[in-house]
């Protein structure tokens, strides 16, 4: 059958508005709205029959039950639902009443057309309301990861606006020891700050094992500036609590939940964070990032460079020390899960590479060692041997017990390419 013959079959069913008529033929004559397509078909049929077209107001349409006349209304409700939230991208989703979906099926069946002819009511409603939302808010549609997602529930007569997170990337330096990367709840009170009716003695009622963390010294500032309701800190690995993070810093992303502001001055934000952290932590290279940067920070393979102060239990001579470093330089290390983390990590043997290592004896029982190693290499155990769980090790090669007394991370860099890939930034 021709398009006009199919259109006549639909028009033979009374009470169908132009949009519902045109939607059956949505795969024809692209560039028209379904309403324009339906009106054109109705007009041509009227011209062929030399009869005035019988136009049907959407309010009188039994298929959409008037919904195709409400695009403007729902768009205005969606725009109002986000209030003063700043956003650049959005997506509209519709939950249509079951009766409308059944009406669509009946229309095609009664007209003798395929059940999947044209497009669904839900798709048209998403598109038509979406276009109007864009005009009202000066934002663009994004089907991947929009700033805001609208759900129009026609049966419940509600509009939900989900404001998705915003992300800030940077690198941090931790300049003092004794500061964890993220909040560390007190184990004695499970983070409540209380034991019974009394303040917890272990944490002095704070609820935290450590009073400050890199997260607590940075994320609240970003949350405040972006006017969000919560923040999550994502780091590219983490250093030990007693280790400093120096040099080029460690990559991180701060995720802000339901932000009202997305466009912020990254340089000013950086200054604000550094002032708030008061010399304990410094951040640099702040940039507005995409959601994908969280996964990159967490999953991107990274090599790390460390500086360790080492104490020996016995005297070590320079030649033996140099020979041990030469043996470790470029070596593949086998490490069973260290005793110190065995309670929270699966027990298994990992192999990691030492890319290069160099050091200097300060006296017969102390040394400074710099190690450039593969991500996941346990540095303290590389020095101490961890009761033989790491081989080879500095202590094992020297035949003298050794311990890291102070550890600094100097660099965290991507193995294959830098963390800072332009495709993950908004600016």
| Rounded Cα–Cα distance for residues 243 and 409 (Å) | 7
Residue with the two structure tokens 């704070």 = 206
pLDDT (0 to 100) of residue 202: 84
User: What tens digit of pLDDT does each residue of 208-237 get?
Assistant: 888 899 999 999 999 999 999 999 999 999
Is 306 annotated as a binding-site member? yes
Is 55 annotated as a binding-site member? no
Backbone angles phi, psi at 265, to 5 degrees: -80, 105
pLDDT (0 to 100) of residue 344: 61
| Rounded Cα–Cα distance for residues 102 and 108 (Å) | 10
> In the chain, which stretches have pLDDT less than 50?
none
**List of domains in the chain:** 3-163 (3.30.2300.10), 166-298 (3.30.70.2510), 302-414 (3.30.70.3190)
Concatenate the DSSP letters of all residues of 43-97 into one string: HHHHHHHTS------GGG-TTTTTGGG-HHHHHHHHHHHTTT---SEEEEEEE--
pLDDT (0 to 100) of residue 50: 83
pLDDT (0 to 100) of residue 1: 65
β-sheet bridge partners, residue 372:
305, 356
CB-CB contact of 10 with 24 (8 Å): yes
Residues annotated catalytic, as ranges: 240
């Amino acid at each position: 059958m021709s398009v006009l013959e199919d259109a006549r079959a639909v028009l033979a069913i009374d009470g169908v508005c132009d949009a519902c008529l045109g939607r059956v033929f949505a795969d024809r004559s692209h560039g028209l709205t379904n309403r324009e397509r339906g009106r054109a078909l109705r007009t041509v049929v009227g011209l062929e029959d030399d009869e005035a077209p019988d136009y049907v107001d959407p309010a009188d349409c039994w298929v959409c039950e008037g919904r195709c006349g409400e695009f403007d209304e729902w768009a205005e409700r969606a725009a109002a639902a986000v209030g003063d939230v700043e956003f650049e991208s959005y997506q509209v989703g519709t939950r249509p009443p079951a009766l409308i979906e059944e009406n669509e099926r009946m229309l095609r069946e009664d007209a003798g057309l395929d059940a999947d002819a044209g497009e669904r009511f839900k798709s048209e409603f998403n598109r038509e309301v979406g276009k109007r939302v864009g005009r009202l808010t000066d934002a663009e549609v994004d089907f991947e990861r929009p700033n805001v997602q609208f759900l129009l529930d026609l049966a419940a007569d509600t509009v939900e606006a989900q404001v998705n997170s915003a992300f800030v990337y940077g690198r941090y330096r931790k300049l003092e020891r004794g500061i964890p990367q993220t909040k560390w709840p007190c184990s004695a009170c499970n983070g409540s700050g209380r034991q019974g009716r009394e303040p917890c003695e272990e944490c002095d009622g704070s609820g935290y094992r450590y009073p400050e963390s890199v997260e607590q010294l940075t994320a609240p500032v970003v949350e405040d500036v972006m006017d969000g309701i919560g923040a999550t800190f994502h780091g590219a690995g983490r250093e030990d609590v007693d280790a400093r993070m120096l040099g080029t810093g460690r990559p991180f992303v701060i995720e802000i939940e339901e932000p009202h502001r997305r466009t912020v001055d990254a340089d000013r934000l950086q200054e604000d964070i550094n002032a708030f952290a008061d010399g304990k932590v410094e951040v640099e290279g702040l940039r507005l990032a995409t959601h994908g940067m969280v996964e990159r920070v967490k999953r991107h393979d990274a090599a790390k460079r460390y500086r360790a102060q080492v104490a020996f239990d016995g005297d070590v001579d320079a030649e033996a020390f140099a020979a041990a470093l030469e043996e470790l330089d470029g070596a593949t290390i086998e490490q069973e899960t260290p005793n110190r983390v065995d309670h929270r990590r699966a027990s298994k043997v990992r192999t990691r590479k030492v890319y290069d290592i160099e050091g200097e004896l300060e006296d017969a029982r102390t040394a400074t060692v710099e190690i450039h190693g593969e991500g996941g290499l346990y540095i303290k155990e590389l020095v101490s041997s961890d009761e033989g769980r790491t081989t080879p090790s500095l202590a094992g090669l020297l035949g003298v017990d050794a311990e890291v007394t102070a550890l600094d991370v100097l660099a965290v860099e991507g193995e294959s390419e830098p963390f800072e890939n332009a495709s993950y930034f908004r600016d």
